[in-house]
Amino acid sequence: MSTRTKIKALLESDETNVDVTVKGWVRTFRNNQFIALNDGSTNNNVQIVVDFENTDAALLKRITTGAALSVTGTVVPSLGKGQKIDIKAKEIEILGDSDPEKYPLQPKKHSLEFLREIAHLRFRTTTFGAIFRVRNTLSFAIHQFFQERGFVYLHTPVITASDAEGAGETFHVTNFDLENIPKTENGEIDYKQDFFGRATNLTVSGQLEGELGAMALSDIYTFGPTFRAENSNTTRHLAEFWMIEPEMAFADITDNMDTAEALLKYVIKYALDKNKDDLEFLSTRLLDEEKQKPQNERSEMTLLEKLQFCLDNDFERLTYTEAIDILKDSTPNKKKKFQFLVEGWGTDLQSEHERYLVEKHFKKPVILTDYPKEIKSFYMRQNDDGKTVAAMDILFPGIGEIVGGSQREERLEKLEQRMDEIGIPKDELWWYLDTRRFGGCPHAGFGLGFERLVLFVTGMGNIRDVIPFPRFPKNAEF
């Protein structure tokens, strides 16, 4: 196995007239002579030239799309167009057969809907190979960004007794026999008999625990799975997704914005540098897809231009109040083109409003700050005006909100007062309040939905296509 050369390394090398062994899966086999072989290390295939006149006919018959091969041969300059080298096969071994009558990925165009049904095989397509290599790069770049800046990677719990957002859309965790759930004398579920001795759920955010880490380690980040039992069947929502959540002690809202903008630019640049071929392919794919749309619905920029544009421009920063004024006076609001009309201050901004600000008004990424406290979470720092909180959301073209964060409320009395106002029991979060009792300090943090980031960078239209095995209402296949 160790003698194998990866196809990416082979194609990047200019060496010819050397013997190599490559292993991969057959994409196509033409004229009993040319095998397009791919091993997933790159979107590009290597062409294997077969001496079919001197090759066993039974072996040739087994070289079908999807079959796994080991090929040893000589690297030679290619005579064909589109590739620099070929491998002149000396020895071909079938590692795994693929029945062409049953293999669902034949060399033709398949719809994304069909490929979702065979998510266990869709990695083998050119599109999904590119997506998941880009996802891998972005994941690595996120860790590198924080590690270079001295952040500590903290693993926050997946099973928790708190609902950080207060939204109640959680998946319950239990080891009760669901046919025989123990009850108390007054007929309520007796959680004292459950595994953890209390009601627990899958985490919706690692933020609260992240704050605990930041109160000792200064700068931490989490990067893990989060879960929302939200009955949402949109192209932007999943029941299981990954979140990046840094928390920074001795930081305010401006530090928060600066870090989030720097992170996004860093990882986008990293992907452009490391996955040039994949992103060029995805950019071409998006252009082809957009040809089916009416002219007014097509993007003004290609995928590569859009990514570069985010690097070249400072994100526009403005307050929620300024954004509301812009939206109220906008043409689509006046002409009632928005699905949700912007009546005035206090409106909870929808994706269509966010995208208008980014794509039509400013034509660049936008950071909105200072939202009404009534539409934001209890832990956000209250501003001196008594109406707004030091929150910030980053809005991206095509996506809407990609980052949400805030300076956290470090003043114990203000935090307790806000929890009382919205009915969050203080006794359940005694540990969270302790960080305000013992050496509290100004601190800030944000959450970046990883799949939304991958969606933006790959140009895909559906969030179910940027996570290997999507979880959504009525679907937990694979």
**Per-residue confidence (pLDDT) for residue 25, from 0 to 100:** 98
Instruction: Indicate if the pLDDT at residue 71 is higher than 90.
Output: yes
* Torsion angle (degrees, nearest 10) of CA 206, 354, 299, 280: -20
Cβ contacts of 10 within 8 Å, gap of 6 or more: 20, 22, 46, 75, 85
Does 477 or 232 have the greater pLDDT score? 477
**Per-residue confidence (pLDDT) for residue 213, from 0 to 100:** 97
Q: What is the largest CA-CA distance in the chain?
A: 85
Kindly report the CA angle at 449 between 443 and 453, in degrees rounded to 5?
120
Question: Is 280 in the same domain as 386?
Answer: yes
Strands 68-77 and 34-38: unpaired
**Per-residue confidence (pLDDT) for residue 372, from 0 to 100:** 97
Within a domain: residue 119?
A: no
Site of tokens 């693929």? 98
User: What separation, in Å, do the N-terminal and C-terminal C-alpha atoms of the chain show?
Assistant: 29
Q: Which two tokens stand for residue 439?
A: 């050496």
Instruction: Give the bridge partners for 408, in sequence order.
Output: 380, 443
Q: Which two tokens stand for residue 71?
A: 């090929």
The residue type of 62 is R
Question: Is 129 in the same domain as 53?
Answer: no
Instruction: Indicate if the pLDDT at residue 297 is higher than 80.
Output: no
State which residues form the domain around 230: 124-169+204-465
Which pLDDT band, with edges at 50, 70 and 90, does 444 fall under?
Answer: very high
Does 295 or 72 have the greater pLDDT score? 72
**Per-residue confidence (pLDDT) for residue 165, from 0 to 100:** 59
Decide if 345 contacts 387 (C-beta within 8 A).
Answer: no
Question: Is 53 in the same domain as 164?
Answer: no
**Per-residue confidence (pLDDT) for residue 168, from 0 to 100:** 62
Site of tokens 């930041």? 214
Within a domain: residue 476?
A: no
Instruction: Indicate if the pLDDT at residue 408 is higher than 70.
Output: yes
Question: Is 139 in the same domain as 102?
Answer: no
Instruction: Indicate if the pLDDT at residue 244 is higher than 80.
Output: yes
Domain end residue (candidates: 58, 83, 108): 108
Instruction: Indicate if the pLDDT at residue 166 is higher than 60.
Output: no
Output the CA–CA distances (angstroms, integers) from residue 322 to 35, 117, 256, 365, 368, in the order listed: 60, 45, 20, 16, 9
Q: Determine the Cα–Cα distance for residues 17 and 388; give it in Å rounded to an integer.
A: 70
Q: Determine the Cα–Cα distance for residues 407 and 247; give it in Å rounded to an integer.
A: 10
Question: Is 19 in the same domain as 148?
Answer: no
Mean pLDDT, rounded, for 394-405: 92
**Per-residue confidence (pLDDT) for residue 167, from 0 to 100:** 58
Q: Which two tokens stand for residue 153?
A: 């990677």
Mean pLDDT, rounded, for 231-254: 93
Q: Which two tokens stand for residue 64?
A: 């079908």
Question: Is 145 in the same domain as 89?
Answer: no
Within a domain: residue 180?
A: no
**Where residue 38 sits, what CATH number does that domain have?**
2.40.50.140
Q: Which two tokens stand for residue 9?
A: 């390394």
pLDDT in tens, 303-346: 999 999 899 999 999 999 999 999 999 999 999 999 999 999 99
Within a domain: residue 471?
A: no
**Where residue 364 sits, what CATH number does that domain have?**
3.30.930.10
Question: Is 251 in the same domain as 160?
Answer: yes
Cβ contacts of 11 within 8 Å, gap of 6 or more: 42, 44, 46, 83, 84, 85
Mean pLDDT, rounded, for 399-418: 95
Question: Is 227 in the same domain as 259?
Answer: yes
Strands 219-227 and 200-202: unpaired
Buried b (16+ CB within 10 A) or exposed e, 344-379: eeebebeeebbbbbbbeebebbbbbbbbbbeebbbb
**Per-residue confidence (pLDDT) for residue 276, from 0 to 100:** 96
Which pLDDT band, with edges at 50, 70 and 90, does 115 fall under?
Answer: very high
Count of domains observed in the chain? 2
Question: Is 23 in the same domain as 128?
Answer: no
Within a domain: residue 238?
A: yes
Average pLDDT, the chain: 94
Question: Is 58 in the same domain as 132?
Answer: no
**Per-residue confidence (pLDDT) for residue 470, from 0 to 100:** 94
The residue type of 293 is K
Mean pLDDT, rounded, for 202-222: 96
Within a domain: residue 178?
A: no
Percentage of residues of the chain with pLDDT beyond 70: 98
Q: Determine the Cα–Cα distance for residues 344 and 474; give it in Å rounded to an integer.
A: 37
Does 92 or 428 have the greater pLDDT score? 92
Within a domain: residue 186?
A: no
Instruction: Indicate if the pLDDT at residue 261 is higher than 60.
Output: yes
Report residue 411: phi and psi, to 5°.
-85, 115
Which pLDDT band, with edges at 50, 70 and 90, does 164 fall under?
Answer: low
**Per-residue confidence (pLDDT) for residue 232, from 0 to 100:** 82
Question: Is 374 in the same domain as 407?
Answer: yes
**Per-residue confidence (pLDDT) for residue 437, from 0 to 100:** 97
Among the ranges given (27-41, 230-244, 382-396), the one the predictor scored with the smallest mean pLDDT: 230-244
Within a domain: residue 189?
A: no
Question: Is 103 in the same domain as 136?
Answer: no
Mean pLDDT, rounded, for 252-262: 98
Written in H, E and C, the secondary structure of the chain is CCCECCHHHHHHCCCCCCEEEEEEEEEEEECCCEEEEECCCCCCCEEEECCHHHCCHHHHHHCCCCCEEEEEEEEEECCCCCCCEEEEEEEEEEEECCCCCCCCCCCCCCCHHHHHHCCCCHHHCHHHHHHHHHHHHHHHHHHHHHHHCCCEECCCCCEECCCCCCCCCCCEECCCCCCCCCECCCCCECHHHCCCCCCEEECCCCHHHHHHHHHHHCEEEEEEEEECCCCCCCCCCCCEEEEEEEEEECCCHHHHHHHHHHHHHHHHHHHHHHCHHHHHHHHHHHHHHHCCCCHHHCCCCCHHHHHHHHHHCCCEEEEHHHHHHHHHCCHHHHCCCCCCCCCCCCCCCCHHHHHHHHHHHHCCCEEEEEEEHHHCCCCECECCCCCEEEEEEEEECCCEEEEEEEEECCCHHHHHHHHHHHCCCHHHHHHHHHHHHCCCCCEEEEEEEHHHHHHHHHCCCCHHHCCCCCCECCECCC
Q: Determine the Cα–Cα distance for residues 349 and 342; give it in Å rounded to an integer.
A: 8
Buried b (16+ CB within 10 A) or exposed e, 255-274: ebbebbbebbbbbbebbbeb
